Amino acid sequence: MISGRALVSRAAPLLTCLGLFVIWQVGSLALKNDSVPTALEALRAVPTIMGDKESLINILASLRRMAIGFGVAVLLSIPLGLLMGRNRFVASFFNPLLMVIYPVPKAALMPIIMLWIGVGDLSKTLVIFLGVSLPVIYHSFEGAKAVEEKMLWSGAAMGLSAAERMVRIVLPAALPEILTGCRTGLVLALITMVTSEMIARQSGAGNILFNALDMGQYDTVFAMIIVIGAMGICFDALFEMLRARLVKWSEPQFDMPLSFS
């Protein structure tokens, strides 16, 4: 049986969303401005977008770029971050480089990348890749640095080579921190995905949004924001479920709602 209290805490995220829509609805009705459609108008436009073949192809193209950019970034960033965390030379080589790149909004690099490699999939995927890489490298680096020396010594005494210690001790020990970086990276992937399509207008979810804006279809604009936001929430919740399974051993022992946390 679920107690009343648990029920409230389960339903809390939904209540928050509902509250937000109510405020939006009331606010937009009060404003009576064309550029602020009511929540109901925006929500009504969502199925229209999702039912349109053209829009779906656009959104799927976005997601494909996001998946590739995120996947490649994670696969390259984790080993680099771990090496930096355990090897002073690797760290002193890459640290200044990353410090320069970190604060630069990756979308700001988009015009230059477009100039070099065009407005196609590659440049957009590259920007997503850059956006995801930095937090993942940074968190992998911090996680690897924090691995207890004695744990590595224990492994060495059992006969693990330096490379084996990296894969079988540093990687699992740093995993909670790495996954925190990946979670940030996932959200950043979504953000850079949309912004890259805003700059290189050709296809994608961001393209639908900004085309609608140009044509004054404000209900579609807000509907797209809802769609993108919902994707963000879903990805984050799914990733959090995966994360919680992988690092069950490191979690504090009290229950937290899976997502929205």
Q: Which residues bind other proteins (CB under 8 A)?
A: 148, 150-151, 153-154, 156-160, 169, 172-173, 175, 247-250, 253
**Burial environment of residue 16 by CB neighbours within 10 A (0 to 12, 13 to 18, 19 or more):** exposed
Closer by beta carbon to other proteins, 99 or else 157: 157
Closer by beta carbon to other proteins, 170 or else 227: 170
Closer by beta carbon to other proteins, 66 or else 173: 173
Asked if residues 140 and 174 have their Cβ atoms less than 8 Å apart, the reply is: yes
Asked if residues 140 and 181 have their Cβ atoms less than 8 Å apart, the reply is: yes
Closer by beta carbon to other proteins, 52 or else 164: 164
Closer by beta carbon to other proteins, 233 or else 247: 247
Least distance (Å) between residue 95 CB and other proteins: 21
Cα distance between residue 29 and residue 38, in whole Å: 7
Closer by beta carbon to other proteins, 102 or else 153: 153
Least distance (Å) between residue 235 CB and other proteins: 25
Phi, psi of 201 (to 5 degrees): -75, 105
Least distance (Å) between residue 236 CB and other proteins: 23
Least distance (Å) between residue 17 CB and other proteins: 34
Cα distance between residue 133 and residue 115, in whole Å: 22
Contacts of 199 (CB under 8 A, 6+ apart): 107, 110, 111, 114
Cα distance between residue 60 and residue 63, in whole Å: 5
Cα distance between residue 109 and residue 115, in whole Å: 10
Least distance (Å) between residue 124 CB and other proteins: 36
Least distance (Å) between residue 72 CB and other proteins: 26
